[in-house]
Amino acid sequence: MKKRVAAIITQYKLNSHADVIVSRLLGELGYEPQVEVVAMYVEQFTDRDLSRDLAAKHGVAICTTIEEAVAWGAPEQTIDGIVIIGEHGDYPWNEKQQHLYPRLRFMRETLAAMDRHGIRVPIFLDKHFSYDNEDARWIYEEVRTRGIPCMAGSSIPYTDYVPHFDRSFLQGGRTFFVVSHGGHESYGFHGMEVLQVLAEHRHGAETGVASVHSLAGDAMWQAMDRAEWPEALMMQALALEPELSGRHPRNECPDPALFVVTYKDGTKGYVAQLHKFATRWSFAVQDQTDASIAAYCNTGRERPYSHFTKLTQLIEEMVLYGTPPCPIERNLLTTYLINTAMESLYVGSPLSLEAWSVAYDPKK
């Protein structure tokens, strides 16, 4: 008998994260799942909703509360895993350009239901923990206290790099430059993930981040003119997109931003948000000898978005074996990074991350 999974979802429509993840778990999109989705809670139904038709097709219960989904089949046969997708849907924005998705509320209700029904199963939480660092820390502490295997983040860290390079080069990396695109928060989070997955391989593992500073518009380019950040590495990463050859984002990107991450050990990380210019996540890494490599994340650009296949496989493996694919501390740190970057963008000054220190060994 397959392991049984409950899905907690904000909105389920074509090409939403619920679609490209949960649809695979249902056996759609050419995917053969190792687990069985038995219950779904969907908070917002629209005229584009896919959940009800797919639930009817696959014999999945549509529940009216998160607790009902979490407790489906209990006490005789409890679920074996929970997938929480708080992405997409009609939710407000704050003054910092953050989308206020209810991931904290979803986690609170999920954990409360698990406690009431004596359930301890792995949880996947899509993307970053929360738009608020206090809330993110609460989620981290609560799953750790309960001993619950937890996986968060997105599909991007698990993509293949093109061209292939010797990963041992990253051990000596001192400057990491990521080119990203899309919304400053929504896709900037992916940029922070790419940065952290690279940077955590340096000698000494991850010892923490000292500060984050965000620059936008002309301020970004003026800082470039003052040689405050490595333009050459940005152009090296952009050169991996043939259609951008010889073009500079300064002249074409309407709303650029740069997130500058200063690590406690002196390592520097940069994420350039080049919306409506770049079209993929690419990066360049330089070591202490000024040698460098560049590559891009090989994501599927059309439906069914092949990079979500690997993510779905990793979710299933965690449900089956109880082992997340990376330390949860990476997910916590990338949450802190994007939240602090958005706040820095809002206040217009660098912000310390000393109070939100995260250190971890990526090999554990």
Segment 75-82 mean pLDDT: 96
pLDDT of residue 363: 87
Q: Is pLDDT of 338 > 90? A: yes
Q: Is pLDDT of 35 > 90? A: yes
Instruction: Give 189-211 pLDDT, tens digit per residue.
Output: 999 999 999 999 999 989 999 99
User: What CATH homologous superfamily does 3-153 map to?
Assistant: NAD(P)-binding Rossmann-like Domain (3.40.50.720)
Q: Is pLDDT of 235 > 90? A: yes
Name the pTM for this structure: 0.97
Instruction: Give 305-326 pLDDT, tens digit per residue.
Output: 999 999 999 999 999 999 999 9
User: Measured between alpha carbons, how far is 339 from 118 in angstroms, rounded to an integer?
Assistant: 33
Residue extents of the structural domains in the chain: 3-153, 157-297
Decide the pairing of beta strands 268-273 and 257-263.
antiparallel
pLDDT of residue 164: 96
pLDDT of residue 245: 82
The CATH fold assigned to 157-297 is Dihydrodipicolinate Reductase; domain 2 (3.30.360)
How does DSSP classify residue 160? P
Nearest to 241 by CA among 270, 278, 273: 278
The residues pairing with 153 across neighbouring beta strands, listed in sequence order, are 126, 127
User: Measured between alpha carbons, how far is 75 from 286 in angstroms, rounded to an integer?
Assistant: 55
pLDDT of residue 302: 95
Segment 117-144 mean pLDDT: 98
Q: Is pLDDT of 220 > 90? A: yes
pLDDT bin (cut points 50, 70, 90) of residue 364 is confident
User: Measured between alpha carbons, how far is 325 from 314 in angstroms, rounded to an integer?
Assistant: 7
Q: Which two tokens stand for residue 206?
A: 């991850």
Segment 281-308 mean pLDDT: 97
Q: Is pLDDT of 357 > 90? A: no
DSSP string, 329-348: HHHHHHHHHHHHHHHHHHHT
Segment 50-65 mean pLDDT: 98
Instruction: Give 153-177 pLDDT, tens digit per residue.
Output: 999 999 999 999 999 999 999 999 9
Across the chain, the runs of DSSP E, i.e. the strands, are: 3-11, 35-44, 61-63, 81-85, 123-126, 150-153, 161-162, 173-180, 209-216, 257-263, 268-273, 282-287, 292-297, 351-352
Q: Residue 162 phi/psi, 5° resolution?
A: -130, 125
Give me the sign of the Cα torsion angle 63, 99, 344, 273. Answer: positive
Segment 320-336 mean pLDDT: 98
pLDDT of residue 246: 84
Nearest to 25 by CA among 13, 39, 11, 14: 39
Mean per-residue pLDDT over the chain, rounded: 97
Segment 347-351 mean pLDDT: 98
Instruction: Give 237-279 pLDDT, tens digit per residue.
Output: 999 999 998 899 999 999 999 999 999 999 999 999 999 999 9
CA distances from 70 to 49, 111, 175, 178, 314 (A): 21, 9, 44, 38, 21
